[in-house]
Amino acid sequence: MRAIFLADAHLRHPDDENYQKLLSFLDSQIGHIDGLFLLGDIFEFWIGYRHVVFSAYLPLLTRLQELVSAGCTLYYVEGNHDFNLGAFFENTLQCTVITDEAIVDWDNQKICLCHGDLINKELKGYRLLRAFWRSRPIKLLAEILPPDQVWHFGHWLSNKSGKYKSSTKRFDPAPLVRPYALTRLNSCDAFICGHFHHPARFDESLGTTIILGDCIQQSSYLELTDGQFTLKTF
C-alpha cells in the first residue's frame, strides 16, 4: 500500500505558484496512491457550508474528487486555518475528518495524527481563542453572514496572523514535539504532525516521530509505502 501525508500549503489563489505546484503533484498521484492524509492548514482559510464552497478552492477540490474516484481514501486533520470542514468533505469526498487528534489503522500500523497546534500546552491564550473560533455561536454567525463576507474576514484575519508569524523567528520544534509524541507512542507505531513547517524524522525506541514540512516553499511530503516512511519533496 502507498499513502501520502501533506500539511501546511496555506492555499490562497489558484494562480499562486505553490497552488499550481501542488495541483501538478496531486495530478501525478491519481490512481497511484491508496491514501491521502491532509494534516491541516491546506487552505489559508476554510469554513464549511452545507451547500457552498469557496470558488478559489475548486481546483484543489476537483483533484481530491478525482483521487477519491480513483480509489484513494481521504483523511483530513483540521488545522488552525481550516476547521468545521463541513458536508462537502464528509459527504461528497467521503473524507474521514479528524477535529483534533486520532489514531488511524493503516497498512498494519497504528498512526497517531494531529495538526500540531495543540502540542504546546503553554499557549493557553491560543487554546482559548481556538475554542472560540470553533464554538457553536461562531458556526451560527458564519451561517447567517454572506459567504463573501466570511471569506474576506477570514483572509483579513489570516493576513494579521501572517504578519505576526513573519516577525517571529522559526524554531526547531523537536524539543517540543518529541516528548509529546512519546506519550502517544505507547499506544501506536508512529506519530505524525504538521504545523511547524520543519520536516524532521526521529526513530524512537517506541516508534517513529515525524514532523511534516510545508507545501509553500519546501514542497515537502511524507510517503508511506509497504510500511516504510520516507520524507520527500515534489
Cβ proximity of 194 and 211 under 8 Å = yes
- Does the structure show a pLDDT above 90 at 4? yes
Residue 167: the pLDDT is 41
| Host domain of residue 43 | 2-233
Question: Residue 145 is part of a domain; what is its CATH number?
Answer: 3.60.21.10
**Which pTM value belongs to this model?**
0.92
Residue 107: the pLDDT is 94
Residue 126: the pLDDT is 87
- Does the structure show a pLDDT above 80 at 162? no
Cβ proximity of 187 and 103 under 8 Å = yes
How many distinct structural domains can be found in the chain? 1
Q: Which residues pair with 2 in a beta bridge?
A: 225
What is the distance between the alpha carbons of residues 20 and 24, in angstroms, rounded to a whole number? 6
Per-residue pLDDT band for 117 (boundaries 50, 70, 90) equals very high
- Does the structure show a pLDDT above 70 at 108? yes
Distances in Å between the alpha carbon of 111 and those of 102, 108, 181? Answer: 8, 10, 11
What is the distance between the alpha carbons of residues 197 and 166, in angstroms, rounded to a whole number? 13
Q: What is the pLDDT of residues 57-104, one digit of tens each?
A: 999 999 999 999 999 999 999 999 998 898 899 999 999 999 999 999
Q: What is the pLDDT of residues 173-205, one digit of tens each?
A: 999 999 999 999 999 999 999 999 999 999 999
